[in-house]
Structure 1
Amino acid sequence: MDKKYDFRKTEQEMQALWEKEGIYRYRNGREKKVFSIDTPPPTVSGSLHIGHVFSYTQAEMIARFKRMQGYDVFYPFGFDDNGLPTERLVERDGGFHAADMPRSQFREKCMETIESYEADFRKMWQSLGFSVDWSLQYRTVSGLTAKISQRAFLDLVRQKKAYMKESPVLWCTQCRTSIAQAELEMKERETTFNYLEFQAGEEKLLVATTRPELLYGCVCVFVNPEDERYRRLAGKMAKVPLYGFEVPILTEEEASMEKGTGAVMCATYGDTADVGWCEKHGLAYREVIRPDGRIAEHVPVIGGMKVKQARAAIIEALEQAGALARREELTHLVAVHERCGTDVEIIPSNQWYIDVLSQKQRFLDAADEINWHPAYMKSRYRSWVENLKWDWCISRQRYFGVPFPVWYCKNCKKPVFAEADQLPVNPMEELPGKKCSCGCEEFLPETAVFDTWATSSVTPLINARYGESDDRSREILPMGMRHQAHEIIRTWAFYTIVRSLYHTGSIPWRDIMISGFVLAKPGEKISKSKNNAASSPMQLIETHSADCIRYWTAGARLGTDTFFSEEELKVSKRFLNKLYNAAKFAGMHLEDYRPDCGETVRLLPPDLWILERVKEASGEAAAFLEEYETGLARKKVDELFWEDFCDYYIEIVKERLYQPEKHGEAERRGAQHALYHSLLGILKLYAVYIPHMTEYIYQSCFRGFEGAVSIHQLLWQQEKADELLLEFGGHLKETIGRVRKEKTEKQMSMKEAIPELVITCPGKLRKLYKQSETDIRACTNAAAIIFRS
């Protein structure tokens, strides 16, 4: 071992060794049971940050753990590089808009951009020492992924689970596309409650609204049938202020009597309540807001304006007409598009959907078939499913994504779907190669692309090469584990469960591991969009080492948010320094040791105890890792290493190692045996956390005897520890600890002799203590030892 550990050189050398030897290559389950991992393909929408390192590394530790439990680990990596997030990145980096150039040209620019980002992403994950089988890498923009996505879509069409309809849809006027309910965020907005004077016969009817710009789209005024204030008006007509047309006054049980005046303006469309009421009462659509976010030109007073400009203009016009009774300042929650923060509108549009509303109970039942880690995360999933109001809209009016394999007959407008052997197909560049059932041979291509979640929701199918000649569904499905962050339970977790149930009839994975966020400050997560990370992951790795960062990531409980600052890495550095020095000490005393030399070895009780402690800690850590608690498992390993191995065992046997002439050569060999095997056991436990340093120490001290090319090919101990030896070790630690404490209180040197040490111990431990007397005397510098029961 080098005198000083050089992580910059060593980490690269260890990574090269793993690559050369194919240590992490998936073996197709030929010799071992398979454990498959559904890894989140990071969205190519900006630079990675410490939050990604935090969650992905926790999951990578599970991959290493499972491998050292004897599994053939299927551990792929993907990149989610199509769809709106990537488009926005390319537009931002390039300073142009997709709509301003031909699709083919924009696609080329997208491909150029993602190649660069993905190369950086992969370099970072490799620099962290990820035990990924990179031959399994996939991209959601690739031809194979497009083929599988299109095949899965056609499967849903056949099942009548995917359908097209023209209806009100959530719409982002900034991104100019439909969006799904899961892409909404609620933001507080300052606005006004405007009390407008409608005319109901001879009476004035006050109606309060926050959306006066939708006044031209008013189709009804609703009142609650129990509201005595308005019973006489139910069934009559009301004249809309400023525009003068009349709308009916109808009763609706959902109309709130407490909000505003109790008389509610229903406009097409102000919110989801308007959508539901219009459908329930058969109310016609009146166009106000266009897909580009402007008011339709035919709308008097405000036609052609943007929404906020139109709101101010119509309020002014209402005031001038004497139709605005009063205004109240208000802070309320508004639905915005999570990708860009723009207020979401609802407009009619022809879109493709996947039916989820009719199967809500099925999706709720599936949650109970999956093991949620932490368990409380299941309630977030259930709450989302229970409150779904829309089917999943999967079509996007964008440019860079997987195309729908659909054309429309120019004559009868009927959709014509691609055949299986045509996939992947781009309908804007290819023809269906067949006639429509009506006999027409002219077609219009579908120009929308799949929502990015519509492709990433089938990552288990992509990994399984679903429907291909080398389909490995039987090998890896359901997958052993999915890991992800908690904010995408409503999207990635839910959508994947939906697709897996529809396509395979089964859950997508047995376990789901859900990580927390890394926070920049209270309540604010570190994110690409906020650009609030102080240092990039590569800067942190180059400055502090991959193992240093990795050790830190295991510090938090699963699912909990944590803060990060570089100050916190001091703990990691102190640990790495301690481990390296402990290994150097051991290496120095093992230079003449050969595990299989056949020499006489006498193991004393302290030697037997530390070996049993390694077994015990291995079992404790494994139990936590089976529950995906990397932090709690690490705590158990830390206790073994810092306290038992360093603070006590090494100090107990130090003289025996240095002075065999005093203690006996066989006794020294016993200490060497225990030192060798306990350190190797500790290294195996830490290998899931700090793979580089543990590998380096293994290569330097153990490979020649153990035979395995890498420490990551060894297995953890799975034996039950001897309870009597553990009890003895605990008692011995307490005894030595009290001696140290008394010396400290009396300001004595730890090396200072004491004339007599009286040890009170249970009778069952007396023999073990007597056999350890020389070690105890050497450790405490006691001239005489007296044992009492």
Structure 2
Amino acid sequence: MKEPKDRGERAADVDLSSQYTPADVEGRLYERWISAGLFTADPERNSARPHFSIVIPPPNVTGSLHMGHALDHSIQDALIRRRRMQGHETLWLPGMDHAGIATQNVVERELAKDGLSRHDLGREAFVDRVWQWKEESGGRILGQMRRLGDSVDWSRERFTMDAGLSRAVLTIFKRLYEDGLIYRAERIINWCPRCLTALSDIEVEHEDREGELVSIRYGSGDDSIVVATTRAETMLGDAAVAVHPDDERYRHMVGREVELPLTGRRIPVVADEHVDPAFGTGAVKVTPAHDPNDFEIGRRHSLPTLTVIDEHGVITAHGPFLGLDRFEARPAIVAALREEGRVVKEVRPYEHAVGHCQRCATVVEPRVSLQWFVRVAPLAKAAGDAVRDGRVRIQPPEMASRYFAWVDNMHDWCISRQLWWGHRIPVWYGPDGEVRCVGPGESAPEGWTQDTDVLDTWFSSALWPFSTLGWPEETGDLRRFYPTSVLVTGYDILFFWVARMMMFGLYAMKDEAADRAVPFREIALHGMVRDRFGKKMSKSAGNVIDPLDWIDEYGADATRFTLLRGANPGGDVPVAEDWAQGSRNFCNKLWNAARFALMNGATLDGPLPAGRSVADRWILSRLRQVTAEVDRHFDNYDFAKACETLYHFAWDEFCDWYVELAKVPLAQGGAPAAATRRVLGEVLDVLLRLLHPMTPFVTEELWTALHGSDGSESIVVAPWPAGEEPETTEPETTEPQTTEPQTTEPQTTEPVVDTAAEAEITSLRRLVTEVRRFRSDQGLKPGQWVTAALEFAGSPLAAHEEAVRLLLRLTEPAGEFVPTASLVVEAVTVRLDTAGVIDVKAERARLAKDLAAARKEVDHARRKLGNEAFMAKAPEAVIAKNRDRLEQAEADIIRLEGQLASLPAG
């Protein structure tokens, strides 16, 4: 990248405001990045460059940015920004999912305001209305992504109902159908009586609810058996009673029939290993049409499938309960059973998991229905093999077991939905029962009718990694960016979405080389965002945090940094408002340090001088180590450690120590000042580049100021720090150094870690820290200047006397000097004159009070530890705690007695 001339001079004149105001910066910078095309990928540009690609998990067109999105996007953006800076041709492809049920529900609610239903409009007009809503009101999350700073390639934005993606859906459906991997059959599925459609497992949310467990006697006398159920209404469709084949209690009953109460029907008792003999009575009612486990038992024993609840949740069985809603029928049936003396036991309340429709919260009804399915066995095996043989790596690796538990036991996937909005199933039926699957570019014979169902939204989103790149066409994007580099997503959809993308990617690309067929090289899993106490965020709990509120209050950088700082691989991420405030403070701290550097002439002009001070060598040594650490954490997807490393380096080492140490040579002028200005510029430049993936806005603003750029350059495409040894040359000036001659390094190439410089600065920091603590113990305020004599006795820290005095607010003695307190740290003796500086009487009283409390604590702990009964009965942890308290109190006594002795008389 071309460097502007006179960079140092211009940097010194840059006018940064006294504090960082995100609202003044973020929108302006984002639009500059977009207009400059910095996020736009070019598959033909320098084909030798490595590529790095991510396709965004498409949010629903109805959605808005929530904390889970903010975390997911912050991680992806950090990855893509770093790779872009590393010189990769990067593509982060954005887009949205059409979200069949959610979107249809939104538009239906809008129609209901006018007293209309979708049936009043008809299918074609309703679909047109949904498209209209999408263009006018959908996709607001895309604008919110811009506020977060997502560096996505907006020129490649995709929507799962786009023409190109629809072509991909038709293509893969036809291929699967012709390969016998898509079929239509009656199977048990999740059904929403309100949305009137089948649901995928991920569209069902289970909540613990209080119900009633009723034990019912089937049959009479020796031919009776007791079963327990929370869904008495389904007994009208019972086809059998099942027991475990090894259960001695019921061995004599297997093969017999018992009378089903209220119906007069007789049903068999069957033996099936699915039954848990230790649960309840060890006997279970079998209702194949209304329970997934019962459906499988029914298939194994050739039982009839009797549907007694219709698609609206209404009882259809003939008799007194016909026409009742399922929840009205339940108590009515229990009452009728009680009248017949069939109820053996009732347990209420009885807490159990109940499935609810994710979109409308209606209780889901398992029911047998004629639906379309994907035969997953061969596809799931391929998806499992790709992880087992290492073509796809799951991060963190311990999450792989969850993945295998799912793909190795996957059931056939119900892909049909009884909706109007979505990809309509491309199967047509002829007048004489003919069936034909129609692919892209094909048409059905005249007079044939198309299947009325649409495909599960997860069907089209399972194609996302390759349909968005142009498949089934052989496009430049597909050649260059597939397989994608990494999929970043929450572990909660590992089963539902990730496994399905693996299945379809491997199937669609089966003609490619094995390592090119996978949809992504790595799967980086993160957890859920929770509140500070680790609780799940929910409206009912009142602990939901809107990331846009944080962005408004603290800025996008602080929001991102807070989330990333808690993002350990695979772990949940707790967040809290004061943590966001802390991240805002961190951005301000960085801003203030940069202002100091720029106001004092920090420069990047020319190579680093050879004659660097120990402080310069130390901060550069630490910078090289931090760069290597951050790289390692990025490669391990450990964003929490990357953020912690940078936070503590920036705040604790650069701002709190190096900047303070730099004030001495800057005040001296000449060669020491020139060297420090160059090192200040170097460290600030590298630090900003390391922080950029996490905090893009503040780093861009400061980096541009440091480089004196007019905006034509950007940190977005600045080289990622490589941690290589900086160039070493003679300083440009020949002006002799006036102080600290022994602190400059020899003009040779230093190792990555400058152990000598680090040891010396570590010793200096200990000296300053201990004296600061001593000052505090003496009652001195942090900014209070005190006269002190320093005796270094040959210590190398003598070279830092001016810095020590500045950091500790110590003036040199003038005339007669009578110290009132002293201490020795790092072989340096510090004698202070605190007379007239502190209120000796008040300080003596405070220390005496603390000393009395410490002695009382010692007496209390010694009595406990000397009590034989306590020592014999107390847990080891309690004993250890008392020993620690004794040790601490004894140390406090020594410290306080020393402080009292050091006080002047008075």
TM-score, structure 1 normalization? 0.88
Query: What is the match of residue 158 of structure 2?
Result: 138
Matched, 1:668 2:685: no
Query: What is the match of residue 156 of structure 1?
Result: 176
Post-superposition offset of 1:526: 3.1
Q: Using the alignment, how far apart are the partners of 1:71 and 1:351 within structure 2? A: 45
Over 3 Å counting, the alpha-carbon distance change for 1:205 and 1:675 in structure 2 is closer
- Can you list the C-alpha shifts for 1:344-369, whole angstroms capped at 9, x where unaligned? 33322221111223554433333333
2:617, 2:757 within 8 Å by CA — same for their partners in 1? no
Secondary structure at the counterpart of residue 370 of structure 2: strand
Query: What is the match of residue 437 of structure 1?
Result: none
2:624, 2:753 within 8 Å by CA — same for their partners in 1? no
Matched, 1:735 2:763: yes
Post-superposition offset of 1:626: 1.2
Aligned pair partner of 1:710 in 707, 710, 714? 714
Q: Which moved further from structure 2: 742-751 or 603-612?
A: 742-751
Query: What is the match of residue 506 of structure 2?
Result: 501
Structure 2: which amino acid aligns with 1:3?
A: S
Structure 2: which amino acid aligns with 1:728?
A: A
Q: Percent identity?
A: 28
Equivalent runs, 1:148-547 vs 2, <5 Å = 148-199=168-219, 203-296=223-316, 298-329=317-348, 330-368=350-388, 369=390, 370-388=392-410, 390-412=411-433, 414-422=434-442, 432-434=443-445, 441-468=446-473, 470=475, 472-505=477-510, 506-520=517-531, 522=533, 524-526=535-537, 532=542, 536-547=546-557
Over 3 Å counting, the alpha-carbon distance change for 1:756 and 1:771 in structure 2 is closer
Structure 1: which amino acid aligns with 2:271?
A: T
Matched, 1:3 2:3: no
Q: Using the alignment, how far apart are the partners of 2:702 and 2:507 within structure 1? A: 49
Post-superposition offset of 1:750: 6.9
Secondary structure at the counterpart of residue 472 of structure 1: helix
Over 3 Å counting, the alpha-carbon distance change for 1:569 and 1:492 in structure 2 is same
Instruction: Tell which has more relative contact order, 1 or 2 (C-alpha 8 A, sep 6+).
Output: 1
Query: What is the match of residue 82 of structure 1?
Result: 99
Q: Using the alignment, how far apart are the partners of 1:323 and 1:169 within structure 2? A: 31
Q: Which runs of 5+ in 2 are unaligned?
A: 1-14, 511-516, 726-749, 814-824, 829-906
Query: What is the match of residue 653 of structure 2?
Result: 644
Post-superposition offset of 1:40: 0.9
Over 3 Å counting, the alpha-carbon distance change for 1:124 and 1:531 in structure 2 is farther
Post-superposition offset of 1:79: 0.9
Query: What is the match of residue 873 of structure 2?
Result: none
Over 3 Å counting, the alpha-carbon distance change for 1:758 and 1:652 in structure 2 is farther
Matched, 1:610 2:622: no
- Can you list the C-alpha shifts for 1:55-82, whole angstroms capped at 9, x where unaligned? 2212211111111222111101111123
Q: Which runs of 5+ in 1 are unaligned?
A: 423-431, 435-440, 762-768
Post-superposition offset of 1:702: 0.5
Q: Using the alignment, how far apart are the partners of 2:485 and 2:721 within structure 1? A: 22
Secondary structure at the counterpart of residue 460 of structure 1: helix
TM-score, structure 2 normalization? 0.77
Secondary structure at the counterpart of residue 407 of structure 1: strand
2:420, 2:454 within 8 Å by CA — same for their partners in 1? yes
Post-superposition offset of 1:509: 0.9
Query: What is the match of residue 572 of structure 1?
Result: 583
Structure 1: which amino acid aligns with 2:595?
A: K
1:354, 1:392 within 8 Å by CA — same for their partners in 2? yes
Over 3 Å counting, the alpha-carbon distance change for 1:372 and 1:752 in structure 2 is farther
1:517, 1:526 within 8 Å by CA — same for their partners in 2? no
1:220, 1:267 within 8 Å by CA — same for their partners in 2? yes
Post-superposition offset of 1:328: 3.0
Aligned pair partner of 1:61 in 65, 75, 78? 78
Paired positions, count: 756
Aligned pair partner of 1:620 in 629, 634, 645? 629
Over 3 Å counting, the alpha-carbon distance change for 1:754 and 1:415 in structure 2 is farther
- Can you list the C-alpha shifts for 1:514-550, whole angstroms capped at 9, x where unaligned? 22222247564336x8695656433332232222212
Over 3 Å counting, the alpha-carbon distance change for 1:253 and 1:512 in structure 2 is closer
Over 3 Å counting, the alpha-carbon distance change for 1:639 and 1:227 in structure 2 is closer
Equivalent runs, 1:63-142 vs 2, <5 Å = 63-92=80-109, 95=112, 98=118, 101-142=121-162
How much is the aligned-residue C-alpha RMSD, in angstroms?
3.2
1:756, 1:782 within 8 Å by CA — same for their partners in 2? no
Q: Using the alignment, how far apart are the partners of 1:655 and 1:548 within structure 2? A: 32
Structure 2: which amino acid aligns with 1:24?
A: F
Structure 1: which amino acid aligns with 2:587?
A: L
Q: Which moved further from structure 2: 25-34 or 617-626?
A: 25-34
Q: Which moved further from structure 2: 284-293 or 95-104?
A: 95-104
Structure 2: which amino acid aligns with 1:445?
A: Q
- Can you list the C-alpha shifts for 1:404-423, whole angstroms capped at 9, x where unaligned? 122112212x321223324x
Q: Using the alignment, how far apart are the partners of 1:605 and 1:457 within structure 2? A: 57
- Can you list the C-alpha shifts for 1:757-786, whole angstroms capped at 9, x where unaligned? 24657xxxxxxx8998887787787989x9
2:61, 2:139 within 8 Å by CA — same for their partners in 1? no
- Can you list the C-alpha shifts for 1:87-130, whole angstroms capped at 9, x where unaligned? 23333455465455422333234334333554521221111221
Over 3 Å counting, the alpha-carbon distance change for 1:753 and 1:653 in structure 2 is farther
Secondary structure at the counterpart of residue 634 of structure 2: helix
Q: Using the alignment, how far apart are the partners of 1:325 and 1:599 within structure 2? A: 88
Secondary structure at the counterpart of residue 771 of structure 2: helix
Q: Using the alignment, how far apart are the partners of 2:713 and 2:458 within structure 1? A: 41
Query: What is the match of residue 765 of structure 1?
Result: none
2:207, 2:355 within 8 Å by CA — same for their partners in 1? yes
Q: Using the alignment, how far apart are the partners of 1:253 and 1:572 within structure 2? A: 56
Secondary structure at the counterpart of residue 397 of structure 2: coil
Query: What is the match of residue 667 of structure 2?
Result: 658
Q: Using the alignment, how far apart are the partners of 2:805 and 2:562 within structure 1? A: 39
- Can you list the C-alpha shifts for 1:545-590, whole angstroms capped at 9, x where unaligned? 2222122122203333234333322212221221111111111121
Over 3 Å counting, the alpha-carbon distance change for 1:248 and 1:188 in structure 2 is same
Post-superposition offset of 1:482: 0.7
Q: Using the alignment, how far apart are the partners of 1:787 and 1:474 within structure 2? A: 63
Q: Using the alignment, how far apart are the partners of 2:379 and 2:284 within structure 1? A: 32
Secondary structure at the counterpart of residue 566 of structure 2: coil
Over 3 Å counting, the alpha-carbon distance change for 1:223 and 1:741 in structure 2 is closer
Q: Which moved further from structure 2: 598-607 or 377-386?
A: 598-607
Q: Using the alignment, how far apart are the partners of 1:49 and 1:147 within structure 2? A: 31
Over 3 Å counting, the alpha-carbon distance change for 1:532 and 1:102 in structure 2 is farther
Query: What is the match of residue 737 of structure 2?
Result: none
Q: Using the alignment, how far apart are the partners of 1:699 and 1:208 within structure 2? A: 72
2:690, 2:721 within 8 Å by CA — same for their partners in 1? no
Q: Using the alignment, how far apart are the partners of 1:606 and 1:247 within structure 2? A: 88
Over 3 Å counting, the alpha-carbon distance change for 1:658 and 1:112 in structure 2 is farther
Structure 1: which amino acid aligns with 2:60?
A: T
Query: What is the match of residue 877 of structure 2?
Result: none
Query: What is the match of residue 41 of structure 2?
Result: 26
